[in-house]
């Protein structure tokens, strides 16, 4: 049985086609009936994944083909969810490294490839999107080889097999000039080149927990690869905790995968990927073992967070109007629940019982958590993201990012100038059909608030990707936002008449008829200083009609900030108020006089 199992993970940069390739593999393996309606990106089963078109959580599935069971793990492509990738690589014996035939290796490709090479895995390189206009598969293969050399791959890893695919059409080719109608060359390559899982089926049972799920009926469900022995439903096993404590329990359900569906199993051999239910408290990196000789497997080391922000209860005048969960107890319980499954997250309690310091791998990592919370009915206030500094050998160090930008030539100068002010250092510049690819190292601080500015400067034509590189000595201060804000001076409802006069002062964030409160930010000032304004002022009505003054009021559409844009925009003295229906910006101190006193005493 063990010889017929292959465990693989699909890794790639975001949007290079991992989930699309998994879809095609599922469809061609006969998992779905011929007349069955199948959604696109069937593995993206989370609402946010479907909306954004990105994979956030790694997923397991199995494909049965020609007597072979292929366990496939679809991994996230964004650096902020790298913790997911690091865990699942422990379960597999090979990775399919998916690379876009036009873009070539991108920052996240480097990140996930390094993790897999360090674990001794031998990748299969899949050059995808060979049908894309401007594709250059031969050059991309050379770029991948150079990347392997940079990452110190051994000779065995450098001798990687290559396959060319068009995942959308469900086609794979061993050579570019071959004719092909399906993914059979890919399945054959997996069968021939991927080793069966190692492990001794005769040894006592051992399994490392690499991910955690939750089911209302079964409780916590732990997933991992059976490293040694055989596991059976109803068996009494030991759980070896990280601190060495041992708990015993009985397996209430043993779950495997048939396509994307979970199925109950009677037993599973060494090498198979399964889920176990029956233990109330189980954590990632802990070991299930035979009760007679409970020995722990090496735990999983996860990279530390690089960014933190304060989550606190909503204290605005509108608190409790739109959300169901508004107390600090609700907030604490939800964050502690998230810690059980989100291994890259850290939550610390602060001196203030209503505030929690939450640390993660990046803005997207934390904003996904906030977005999920607001959809669940939570109200909270969030501070500006701050990078986490470290003291290394007596030197203050900060996280540095590897930044790759694809930008048309006409906008290149502006982008380089802006990045220079943010302490970025250019490493290379490569022209590609009218678009230049620029590579930089930049402090993580320098990227906070840059994305919105970058899209404006490049008229939406620029593409930027970044991933954590290393901790390096502190680069010095970086100037923050250059503009002040427009702050409402009273509670009320915005009036078109007032907004018409205010729009000359800067850019508005609100429409007419929006409820506001004192201290709420309603726009960006054209000047550097903050300005307190009255957006609720109505027109004084008289019975005399004045020629010219009663013309129709024309308002410029407001700039509506998304959650990520709002988090990037705020300064240290401001907060983002997040509720199920609204995202508002506000000052920490709502009263104008209190703000003046605070500024004087600073």
- What pLDDT digit, counting tens, does each position of 507-518 carry? 999 999 999 999
Architecture of domain 390-473: 2-Layer Sandwich (3.30)
Q: Is pLDDT above 80 for 19?
A: no
Model confidence over 194-223: pLDDT tens digits? 888 887 778 888 888 887 776 667 777 888
Model confidence over 174-199: pLDDT tens digits? 888 878 788 888 888 888 888 888 87
Over residues 330-355, the mean pLDDT reads: 86
Over residues 339-359, the mean pLDDT reads: 85
Q: Determine if residue 130 is labeled as part of a ligand binding site.
A: yes
Model confidence over 38-53: pLDDT tens digits? 444 444 445 544 444 4
Distance CA 189, CA 121 (A): 16
For residue 546, count other CB atoms closer than 10 A to its CB.
7
pLDDT for the residue numbered 488: 93
pLDDT for the residue numbered 356: 93
Report the CATH superfamily, name and number, of domain 2-193: P-loop containing nucleotide triphosphate hydrolases (3.40.50.300)
DSSP H or E stretch at residue 595: helix 592-601
Three-state secondary-structure class, residue 147: helix
Q: Is pLDDT above 70 for 2?
A: no
Higher-pLDDT residue of 34 and 264 is 264
- For residues 36 and 235, the answer to whether their CB atoms sit within 8 Å is no
317 Cβ contact partners less than 8 Å away, ≥ 6 residues apart = 491, 517, 518, 590
Residue 361, both tokens: 């791998």
Q: Return phi, psi of residue 453, to 5°.
A: -60, -40
How many residues are present in the chain?
602
Model confidence over 231-245: pLDDT tens digits? 888 888 888 887 788
DSSP H or E stretch at residue 359: strand 355-360
Nearest to 273 by CA among 217, 215, 199, 218: 199
pLDDT for the residue numbered 25: 80
Nearest to 205 by CA among 166, 181, 236: 236
pLDDT for the residue numbered 548: 55
- For residues 254 and 265, the answer to whether their CB atoms sit within 8 Å is yes
Q: Determine if residue 18 is labeled as part of a ligand binding site.
A: yes
- For residues 393 and 472, the answer to whether their CB atoms sit within 8 Å is no
Which segments of the chain belong to CATH 3.30.70.870? 307-387
Strand segments, DSSP code E, in 383-478 are: 386-387, 390-392, 395-408, 425-432, 435-443, 463-473
Banded pLDDT at 35 (limits 50, 70, 90): very low
Longest dimension (CA), the chain: 98
Banded pLDDT at 55 (limits 50, 70, 90): very low
pLDDT for the residue numbered 83: 54
Q: Is pLDDT above 50 for 57?
A: no
Higher-pLDDT residue of 430 and 314 is 314
Q: Is pLDDT above 70 for 276?
A: yes
Over residues 464-488, the mean pLDDT reads: 84
Banded pLDDT at 546 (limits 50, 70, 90): low
pLDDT for the residue numbered 58: 52
Model confidence over 433-446: pLDDT tens digits? 678 888 899 998 88
What is the CATH code of the structural domain delimited by 206-290? 2.40.30.10
- For residues 442 and 404, the answer to whether their CB atoms sit within 8 Å is no
pLDDT for the residue numbered 380: 92
Q: Determine if residue 596 is labeled as part of a ligand binding site.
A: no
Q: Determine if residue 20 is labeled as part of a ligand binding site.
A: yes
The CATH topology of domain 307-387 is: Alpha-Beta Plaits (3.30.70)
Q: Is pLDDT above 80 for 60?
A: no
Answer whether CATH 2.40.50.250 is correct for domain 485-575+588-601. Answer: yes
Over residues 456-480, the mean pLDDT reads: 82
Nearest to 487 by CA among 536, 534, 528, 526: 534
Banded pLDDT at 224 (limits 50, 70, 90): confident
Over residues 400-429, the mean pLDDT reads: 87
- For residues 313 and 326, the answer to whether their CB atoms sit within 8 Å is yes
Q: Determine if residue 17 is labeled as part of a ligand binding site.
A: yes
pLDDT for the residue numbered 542: 67
269 Cα distance to chain centroid: 33
Model confidence over 495-510: pLDDT tens digits? 988 898 898 888 999 9
Q: Is pLDDT above 90 for 95?
A: no
pLDDT for the residue numbered 59: 58
Over residues 286-291, the mean pLDDT reads: 84
Q: Determine if residue 19 is labeled as part of a ligand binding site.
A: yes
Higher-pLDDT residue of 331 and 32 is 331
Percent over 90 (pLDDT), the chain: 15
């Amino acid at each position: 049985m063990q010889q017929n199992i292959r465990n693989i993970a699909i890794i790639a940069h975001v949007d290079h086609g991992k989930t699309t390739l998994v879809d095609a593999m599922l469809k061609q393996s006969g998992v779905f009936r011929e007349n069955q309606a199948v959604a696109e990106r069937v593995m993206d089963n989370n609402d946010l994944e479907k909306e954004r078109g990105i994979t956030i959580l790694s997923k397991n599935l199995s494909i049965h083909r020609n007597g072979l069971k292929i366990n496939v793990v679809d991994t996230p492509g964004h650096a902020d969810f790298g913790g997911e990738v690091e865990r699942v690589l422990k379960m597999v014996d090979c990775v399919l490294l998916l690379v876009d035939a036009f873009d070539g290796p991108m920052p996240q490709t480097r990140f996930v490839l390094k993790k897999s090479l360090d674990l001794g895995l031998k990748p299969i390189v899949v050059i995808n999107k060979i049908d894309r206009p401007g594709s250059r598969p031969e050059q991309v293969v050379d770029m991948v080889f150079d990347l392997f050399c940079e990452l110190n791959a051994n000779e065995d890893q450098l001798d990687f097999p290559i396959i060319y695919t068009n995942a959308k059409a469900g086609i794979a080719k061993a050579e570019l000039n071959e004719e092909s109608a399906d993914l059979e060359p890919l399945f054959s390559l997996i069968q021939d080149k991927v080793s069966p899982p190692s492990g001794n089926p005769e040894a006592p049972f051992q399994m490392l927990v690499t991910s955690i799920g939750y089911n209302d009926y079964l409780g916590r469900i732990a997933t991992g690869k059976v490293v040694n022995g055989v596991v059976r439903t109803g068996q009494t096993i030991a759980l070896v905790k990280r601190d060495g404590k041992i708990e015993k329990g009985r397996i209430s359900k043993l779950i495997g995968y048939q396509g994307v569906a979970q199925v109950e199993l009677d037993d599973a051999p060494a090498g198979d990927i399964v889920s176990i239910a029956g233990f109330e408290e189980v954590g990632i990196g802990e070991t299930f073992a035979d009760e007679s000789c409970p020995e722990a497997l090496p735990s999983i080391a996860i990279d530390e967070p690089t960014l933190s922000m304060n989550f606190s209860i909503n204290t605005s005048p509108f608190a409790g109007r739109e959300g169901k969960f508004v107390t600090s107890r609700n907030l604490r319980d939800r964050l502690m629940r998230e810690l059980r499954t989100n291994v890259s997250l850290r939550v610390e309690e602060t001196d203030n019982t209503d505030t929690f310091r939450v640390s993660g791998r990046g803005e997207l990592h934390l904003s996904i958590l906030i977005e999920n919370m607001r959809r669940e009915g939570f109200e909270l206030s969030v501070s500006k993201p701050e990078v986490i500094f470290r003291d290394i050998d007596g030197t203050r160090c900060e996280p540095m990012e590897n930044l790759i930008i694809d930008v048309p030539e006409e906008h290149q100068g502006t982008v380089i100038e802006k990045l220079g002010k943010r302490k970025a250092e250019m490493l290379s510049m490569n022209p590609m059909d009218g678009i230049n690819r620029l590579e930089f190292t930049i402090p993580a601080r320098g990227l906070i608030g840059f994305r919105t500015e970058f899209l404006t400067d490049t008229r939406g034509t620029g593409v930027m990707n970044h991933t954590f590189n290393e901790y390096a000595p502190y680069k010095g201060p970086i100037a923050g936002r250059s503009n002040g804000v427009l702050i409402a001076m009273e509670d009320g409802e915005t009036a078109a008449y007032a907004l018409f006069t205010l729009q000359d002062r800067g850019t508005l964030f609100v429409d007419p008829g929006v409820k506001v409160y004192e201290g709420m930010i309603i726009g960006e000032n054209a000047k550097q200083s903050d300005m307190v304004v009255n957006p609720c002022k109505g027109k004084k009505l008289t019975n005399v009609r004045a020629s010219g003054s009663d013309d129709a009021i024309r308002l410029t559409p407001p700039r509506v900030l998304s959650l990520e844009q709002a988090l990037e925009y705020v300064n240290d003295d401001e907060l983002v108020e997040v509720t199920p229906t609204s995202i508002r910006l506000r000052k920490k101190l709502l009263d104008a006089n209190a703000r003046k006193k605070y500024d004087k005493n600073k």
